[in-house]
Amino acid sequence: MTLNTAESLVRPVFPFTAIIGQEEMKLALILNVIDPTIGGVMIMGDRGTGKSTTIRAIADLLPEIEVIVDDSFNSHPSNIELMSEESKQAFEDDIELSTKQIKVPMVDLPLGATEDRVCGTIDIEKALKDGVKTFEPGLLAKANRGILYVDEVNLLDDHLVDLLLDSAASGWNTVEREGISIRHPARFVLVGSGNPEEGELRPQLLDRFGMHAEIRTVKDPILRVQIVEQRSQFDHSSQKLINSYTVQQEELKERIIQAQDRLSSVEISYDLKVKISQVCSELNVDGLRGDIVTNRAAIAFAAYQRKKDVTIEDIEKVITLCLRHRLRKDPLESIDSGEKVLKVFKNIFI
Protein backbone atom coordinates (compact mmCIF):
# COMPACT_ATOMS: atom_id res chain seq x y z
CA MET A 1 0.00 0.00 0.00
CA THR A 2 1.35 3.43 -1.00
CA LEU A 3 1.12 6.16 1.61
CA ASN A 4 -0.02 9.55 0.33
CA THR A 5 2.46 12.19 1.47
CA ALA A 6 1.60 15.89 1.32
CA GLU A 7 4.04 16.24 -1.57
CA SER A 8 2.47 13.46 -3.62
CA LEU A 9 -0.99 14.95 -3.18
CA VAL A 10 0.03 18.29 -4.68
CA ARG A 11 -1.20 18.62 -8.24
CA PRO A 12 1.78 18.69 -10.64
CA VAL A 13 2.28 21.93 -12.58
CA PHE A 14 3.44 22.03 -16.19
CA PRO A 15 6.95 23.61 -16.36
CA PHE A 16 6.93 27.21 -17.61
CA THR A 17 10.08 26.70 -19.70
CA ALA A 18 8.49 23.69 -21.45
CA ILE A 19 5.64 25.77 -22.90
CA ILE A 20 6.00 26.04 -26.68
CA GLY A 21 5.22 29.35 -28.42
CA GLN A 22 2.97 32.09 -26.96
CA GLU A 23 6.06 34.26 -26.42
CA GLU A 24 4.01 37.44 -26.02
CA MET A 25 2.01 36.04 -23.12
CA LYS A 26 5.10 34.57 -21.44
CA LEU A 27 7.03 37.85 -21.70
CA ALA A 28 4.12 39.88 -20.28
CA LEU A 29 3.87 37.53 -17.28
CA ILE A 30 7.62 37.58 -16.63
CA LEU A 31 7.78 41.40 -16.74
CA ASN A 32 4.82 41.74 -14.35
CA VAL A 33 6.50 39.35 -11.93
CA ILE A 34 9.73 41.37 -12.12
CA ASP A 35 7.84 44.64 -11.56
CA PRO A 36 4.26 44.22 -10.27
CA THR A 37 3.71 48.02 -10.56
CA ILE A 38 3.33 47.49 -14.33
CA GLY A 39 -0.27 46.76 -13.42
CA GLY A 40 -1.02 43.20 -14.48
CA VAL A 41 -1.82 41.68 -17.84
CA MET A 42 -4.95 40.93 -19.82
CA ILE A 43 -4.57 37.82 -21.99
CA MET A 44 -7.08 37.45 -24.79
CA GLY A 45 -7.10 34.55 -27.20
CA ASP A 46 -8.67 31.40 -28.55
CA ARG A 47 -9.89 28.59 -26.34
CA GLY A 48 -7.42 25.78 -25.63
CA THR A 49 -4.28 27.88 -26.17
CA GLY A 50 -2.75 27.23 -22.75
CA LYS A 51 -3.66 30.46 -20.97
CA SER A 52 -4.45 28.84 -17.60
CA THR A 53 -1.53 26.41 -17.89
CA THR A 54 0.96 29.24 -18.50
CA ILE A 55 -0.33 31.39 -15.64
CA ARG A 56 -0.15 28.51 -13.14
CA ALA A 57 3.31 27.66 -14.48
CA ILE A 58 4.73 31.16 -13.81
CA ALA A 59 3.39 31.08 -10.23
CA ASP A 60 4.98 27.66 -9.63
CA LEU A 61 8.30 28.89 -11.05
CA LEU A 62 8.71 31.80 -8.62
CA PRO A 63 10.94 31.56 -5.53
CA GLU A 64 9.27 31.02 -2.16
CA ILE A 65 8.43 34.05 -0.02
CA GLU A 66 8.83 34.56 3.74
CA VAL A 67 5.59 35.20 5.64
CA ILE A 68 4.53 35.63 9.26
CA VAL A 69 3.09 32.43 10.76
CA ASP A 70 -0.70 32.38 11.38
CA ASP A 71 -1.21 35.60 9.41
CA SER A 72 -4.13 35.54 6.94
CA PHE A 73 -2.59 38.19 4.66
CA ASN A 74 0.81 36.62 3.86
CA SER A 75 2.37 39.53 5.74
CA HIS A 76 6.03 40.35 5.12
CA PRO A 77 8.16 39.97 8.28
CA SER A 78 9.89 43.37 7.91
CA ASN A 79 8.17 45.48 5.22
CA ILE A 80 5.40 47.50 6.93
CA GLU A 81 3.70 48.19 3.58
CA LEU A 82 3.07 44.46 3.21
CA MET A 83 1.84 43.79 6.75
CA SER A 84 -1.61 43.40 8.27
CA GLU A 85 -2.52 45.84 11.06
CA GLU A 86 -2.00 43.18 13.78
CA SER A 87 1.44 42.17 12.46
CA LYS A 88 2.43 45.82 12.01
CA GLN A 89 1.50 46.58 15.62
CA ALA A 90 3.45 43.56 16.86
CA PHE A 91 6.46 44.58 14.73
CA GLU A 92 6.39 48.14 16.10
CA ASP A 93 6.14 46.77 19.67
CA ASP A 94 9.28 44.67 19.02
CA ILE A 95 7.40 41.42 19.51
CA GLU A 96 9.28 38.55 17.91
CA LEU A 97 7.24 37.09 15.05
CA SER A 98 7.66 33.53 13.79
CA THR A 99 8.09 33.20 10.04
CA LYS A 100 7.96 30.46 7.42
CA GLN A 101 8.58 30.03 3.70
CA ILE A 102 5.62 29.44 1.38
CA LYS A 103 5.12 29.18 -2.37
CA VAL A 104 3.94 32.37 -4.05
CA PRO A 105 0.13 32.43 -3.64
CA MET A 106 -1.83 31.70 -6.79
CA VAL A 107 -5.50 32.55 -6.28
CA ASP A 108 -8.25 31.73 -8.79
CA LEU A 109 -11.26 34.03 -8.74
CA PRO A 110 -14.42 32.13 -9.75
CA LEU A 111 -16.92 33.82 -12.06
CA GLY A 112 -19.75 33.56 -9.55
CA ALA A 113 -17.78 35.22 -6.72
CA THR A 114 -19.63 37.80 -4.60
CA GLU A 115 -18.15 41.07 -3.34
CA ASP A 116 -17.92 39.62 0.20
CA ARG A 117 -16.03 36.57 -1.13
CA VAL A 118 -13.57 38.83 -2.95
CA CYS A 119 -13.05 41.60 -0.38
CA GLY A 120 -13.81 39.82 2.89
CA THR A 121 -16.51 40.48 5.50
CA ILE A 122 -16.78 42.19 8.87
CA ASP A 123 -18.79 40.48 11.62
CA ILE A 124 -21.06 43.42 12.51
CA GLU A 125 -22.89 41.59 15.30
CA LYS A 126 -19.66 40.75 17.15
CA ALA A 127 -18.32 44.26 16.61
CA LEU A 128 -21.44 45.87 18.09
CA LYS A 129 -21.85 43.35 20.91
CA ASP A 130 -18.22 42.85 22.00
CA GLY A 131 -16.56 45.90 20.47
CA VAL A 132 -14.12 43.65 18.63
CA LYS A 133 -13.33 43.95 14.92
CA THR A 134 -13.69 40.46 13.47
CA PHE A 135 -12.71 40.18 9.84
CA GLU A 136 -13.16 37.17 7.60
CA PRO A 137 -10.48 37.58 4.88
CA GLY A 138 -11.47 37.27 1.22
CA LEU A 139 -9.60 36.33 -1.93
CA LEU A 140 -7.76 39.68 -2.04
CA ALA A 141 -6.18 38.87 1.34
CA LYS A 142 -5.10 35.42 0.15
CA ALA A 143 -3.62 36.92 -3.04
CA ASN A 144 -1.41 39.44 -1.22
CA ARG A 145 2.20 39.13 -2.49
CA GLY A 146 1.07 36.65 -5.12
CA ILE A 147 -0.92 36.31 -8.34
CA LEU A 148 -4.69 36.75 -8.67
CA TYR A 149 -6.02 35.01 -11.77
CA VAL A 150 -9.43 35.78 -13.24
CA ASP A 151 -10.41 33.47 -16.09
CA GLU A 152 -13.12 34.81 -18.44
CA VAL A 153 -12.64 38.27 -16.91
CA ASN A 154 -14.75 39.71 -19.73
CA LEU A 155 -17.75 37.84 -18.27
CA LEU A 156 -17.15 39.12 -14.73
CA ASP A 157 -19.42 41.82 -13.31
CA ASP A 158 -17.95 45.27 -14.06
CA HIS A 159 -18.32 46.27 -10.41
CA LEU A 160 -16.09 43.38 -9.31
CA VAL A 161 -13.54 44.13 -12.03
CA ASP A 162 -13.41 47.73 -10.74
CA LEU A 163 -12.77 46.45 -7.19
CA LEU A 164 -9.95 44.18 -8.37
CA LEU A 165 -8.31 46.90 -10.44
CA ASP A 166 -8.55 49.45 -7.61
CA SER A 167 -6.87 47.04 -5.17
CA ALA A 168 -4.22 46.06 -7.71
CA ALA A 169 -3.41 49.73 -8.36
CA SER A 170 -3.35 50.89 -4.73
CA GLY A 171 -1.99 47.72 -3.11
CA TRP A 172 -4.67 47.93 -0.40
CA ASN A 173 -8.17 46.61 0.18
CA THR A 174 -10.61 48.53 2.37
CA VAL A 175 -13.83 46.98 3.67
CA GLU A 176 -16.43 49.24 5.29
CA ARG A 177 -19.65 48.10 6.96
CA GLU A 178 -21.92 50.15 9.23
CA GLY A 179 -19.22 52.69 10.02
CA ILE A 180 -16.58 50.01 10.74
CA SER A 181 -13.56 50.01 8.47
CA ILE A 182 -10.80 47.44 7.99
CA ARG A 183 -7.83 47.88 5.67
CA HIS A 184 -5.23 45.32 4.67
CA PRO A 185 -2.43 45.00 2.08
CA ALA A 186 -3.43 43.51 -1.28
CA ARG A 187 -0.34 43.62 -3.48
CA PHE A 188 -0.71 41.15 -6.29
CA VAL A 189 -0.16 40.68 -10.00
CA LEU A 190 -3.61 40.75 -11.58
CA VAL A 191 -3.90 38.41 -14.56
CA GLY A 192 -7.10 38.30 -16.55
CA SER A 193 -7.83 36.02 -19.48
CA GLY A 194 -10.69 35.65 -21.88
CA ASN A 195 -11.94 34.74 -25.32
CA PRO A 196 -12.81 37.77 -27.53
CA GLU A 197 -15.74 35.83 -29.01
CA GLU A 198 -17.47 35.98 -25.62
CA GLY A 199 -17.29 39.76 -25.43
CA GLU A 200 -14.75 42.48 -24.80
CA LEU A 201 -14.06 44.50 -21.67
CA ARG A 202 -15.10 48.14 -21.64
CA PRO A 203 -12.23 50.40 -22.86
CA GLN A 204 -12.19 52.15 -19.46
CA LEU A 205 -11.48 48.83 -17.72
CA LEU A 206 -9.06 47.58 -20.37
CA ASP A 207 -6.97 50.72 -19.89
CA ARG A 208 -6.47 49.82 -16.25
CA PHE A 209 -4.57 46.64 -17.15
CA GLY A 210 -0.88 47.38 -17.60
CA MET A 211 -0.41 45.06 -20.57
CA HIS A 212 -2.53 43.27 -23.13
CA ALA A 213 -1.25 40.05 -24.70
CA GLU A 214 -2.91 38.43 -27.71
CA ILE A 215 -2.52 34.71 -28.27
CA ARG A 216 -3.57 32.64 -31.22
CA THR A 217 -3.83 28.92 -31.95
CA VAL A 218 -0.53 27.59 -33.33
CA LYS A 219 -0.86 27.01 -37.09
CA ASP A 220 2.40 25.14 -37.81
CA PRO A 221 1.55 21.37 -37.93
CA ILE A 222 5.04 20.41 -36.66
CA LEU A 223 4.67 22.62 -33.60
CA ARG A 224 1.12 21.39 -33.00
CA VAL A 225 2.33 17.78 -32.96
CA GLN A 226 5.17 18.77 -30.62
CA ILE A 227 2.69 20.41 -28.21
CA VAL A 228 0.33 17.40 -28.31
CA GLU A 229 3.18 14.93 -27.67
CA GLN A 230 4.54 17.03 -24.83
CA ARG A 231 1.12 17.27 -23.19
CA SER A 232 0.63 13.50 -23.56
CA GLN A 233 4.01 12.94 -21.91
CA PHE A 234 3.03 15.21 -19.01
CA ASP A 235 -0.32 13.46 -18.54
CA HIS A 236 1.37 10.04 -18.63
CA SER A 237 4.40 10.83 -16.45
CA SER A 238 4.32 14.39 -15.14
CA GLN A 239 7.33 14.04 -12.82
CA LYS A 240 9.54 12.75 -15.64
CA LEU A 241 8.76 15.83 -17.79
CA ILE A 242 9.17 18.18 -14.81
CA ASN A 243 12.58 16.63 -14.00
CA SER A 244 13.75 17.07 -17.59
CA TYR A 245 13.21 20.83 -17.34
CA THR A 246 14.73 21.35 -13.86
CA VAL A 247 17.86 23.12 -15.15
CA GLN A 248 15.92 25.53 -17.42
CA GLN A 249 13.45 26.27 -14.61
CA GLU A 250 16.23 27.10 -12.14
CA GLU A 251 18.02 29.28 -14.70
CA LEU A 252 14.87 31.29 -15.43
CA LYS A 253 14.05 31.58 -11.71
CA GLU A 254 17.55 32.95 -11.03
CA ARG A 255 17.27 35.36 -13.96
CA ILE A 256 13.96 36.73 -12.61
CA ILE A 257 15.45 37.17 -9.10
CA GLN A 258 18.46 39.02 -10.55
CA ALA A 259 16.18 41.25 -12.63
CA GLN A 260 14.13 42.11 -9.52
CA ASP A 261 17.33 43.06 -7.69
CA ARG A 262 18.64 45.06 -10.67
CA LEU A 263 15.35 46.88 -11.35
CA SER A 264 15.99 49.98 -9.19
CA SER A 265 19.39 50.62 -10.78
CA VAL A 266 18.30 50.51 -14.45
CA GLU A 267 18.22 53.94 -16.10
CA ILE A 268 16.10 55.25 -18.97
CA SER A 269 17.29 58.44 -20.65
CA TYR A 270 15.21 61.62 -20.79
CA ASP A 271 15.31 61.52 -24.61
CA LEU A 272 13.75 58.02 -24.69
CA LYS A 273 11.07 59.07 -22.18
CA VAL A 274 10.12 62.00 -24.42
CA LYS A 275 9.89 59.72 -27.46
CA ILE A 276 7.66 57.24 -25.58
CA SER A 277 5.32 60.11 -24.67
CA GLN A 278 5.46 61.31 -28.28
CA VAL A 279 4.26 57.87 -29.45
CA CYS A 280 1.42 57.94 -26.89
CA SER A 281 0.45 61.46 -27.96
CA GLU A 282 0.45 60.60 -31.67
CA LEU A 283 -1.67 57.50 -30.99
CA ASN A 284 -4.09 59.70 -29.06
CA VAL A 285 -3.81 57.56 -25.91
CA ASP A 286 -6.01 58.98 -23.15
CA GLY A 287 -4.34 59.88 -19.86
CA LEU A 288 -0.76 59.12 -18.87
CA ARG A 289 -1.10 55.48 -17.87
CA GLY A 290 0.28 54.34 -21.25
CA ASP A 291 3.41 56.49 -20.82
CA ILE A 292 4.01 55.25 -17.26
CA VAL A 293 3.47 51.55 -18.03
CA THR A 294 5.70 51.65 -21.14
CA ASN A 295 8.53 53.22 -19.12
CA ARG A 296 8.19 50.62 -16.35
CA ALA A 297 7.94 47.69 -18.76
CA ALA A 298 11.01 48.87 -20.74
CA ILE A 299 13.01 49.14 -17.49
CA ALA A 300 11.85 45.66 -16.40
CA PHE A 301 12.79 44.19 -19.78
CA ALA A 302 16.23 45.85 -19.66
CA ALA A 303 16.75 44.40 -16.16
CA TYR A 304 15.67 40.98 -17.48
CA GLN A 305 18.24 41.38 -20.29
CA ARG A 306 20.91 42.15 -17.64
CA LYS A 307 21.36 45.75 -18.87
CA LYS A 308 22.02 48.95 -16.92
CA ASP A 309 20.35 51.28 -19.44
CA VAL A 310 17.16 51.00 -21.49
CA THR A 311 17.71 50.87 -25.26
CA ILE A 312 15.38 51.49 -28.22
CA GLU A 313 15.24 47.70 -28.75
CA ASP A 314 13.92 47.24 -25.20
CA ILE A 315 11.13 49.75 -25.81
CA GLU A 316 10.25 48.17 -29.15
CA LYS A 317 9.86 44.80 -27.44
CA VAL A 318 7.28 46.03 -24.93
CA ILE A 319 5.48 49.04 -26.43
CA THR A 320 2.83 47.05 -28.33
CA LEU A 321 1.96 45.07 -25.18
CA CYS A 322 1.57 48.35 -23.27
CA LEU A 323 -0.41 50.43 -25.77
CA ARG A 324 -2.48 48.24 -28.15
CA HIS A 325 -5.49 48.13 -25.80
CA ARG A 326 -5.48 51.88 -25.13
CA LEU A 327 -6.32 52.97 -28.68
CA ARG A 328 -10.02 52.13 -28.69
CA LYS A 329 -12.55 54.93 -28.32
CA ASP A 330 -15.61 52.98 -29.48
CA PRO A 331 -16.55 49.94 -27.32
CA LEU A 332 -17.68 48.09 -30.45
CA GLU A 333 -14.33 48.56 -32.21
CA SER A 334 -11.93 45.59 -32.08
CA ILE A 335 -8.53 45.93 -30.41
CA ASP A 336 -5.75 47.02 -32.73
CA SER A 337 -3.37 44.14 -33.50
CA GLY A 338 -0.35 46.29 -32.72
CA GLU A 339 0.59 47.22 -36.27
CA LYS A 340 -0.54 50.80 -35.70
CA VAL A 341 1.56 51.05 -32.53
CA LEU A 342 4.69 49.69 -34.25
CA LYS A 343 4.22 51.98 -37.25
CA VAL A 344 4.14 55.09 -35.07
CA PHE A 345 7.01 53.75 -32.95
CA LYS A 346 9.23 53.33 -36.02
CA ASN A 347 8.35 56.79 -37.33
CA ILE A 348 9.46 58.40 -34.06
CA PHE A 349 12.32 56.18 -32.88
CA ILE A 350 13.98 54.99 -36.08
Tell me the catalytic residues.
289
Whether the CB-CB separation of 174 and 135 falls below 8 Å is answered with no
CA 152-10-111 angle, to 5 degrees, is 15
- Residue 197: partners with Cβ closer than 8 Å, 6 or more residues away: none
Provide the Cα torsion 68, 103, 28, 232; round to 10°. -170
Asked whether the CA dihedral 89, 93, 95, 99 is positive or negative, the reply is positive
Cα dist from 114 to 161, 190, 342, whole Å: 11, 18, 40
* Cα gap 307→298, rounded to integer Å: 11
CA distances from 332 to 199, 323, 329, 335 (A): 10, 18, 9, 9
Angle at 19 between CA 18 and CA 23, to 5 degrees: 130
Could you tell me which of 246, 262, 342 has the C-alpha nearest to residue 302?
Answer: 262
Q: How many CA atoms lie within 13 Å of 115's alpha carbon, on the beta-carbon side?
A: 12
In eight-state DSSP terms, residue 181 is: E
For the chain, give the number of residues: 350
Q: What residue type is 296 in one-letter code?
A: R
CA separation for the pair 294, 166 (Å, rounded): 20
Burial zone of 261 (CB within 10 Å; 0-12 exposed, 13-18 middle, 19+ buried): exposed
Q: Are 78 and 87 in contact (CB under 8 A)?
A: no
24 DSSP assignment: H
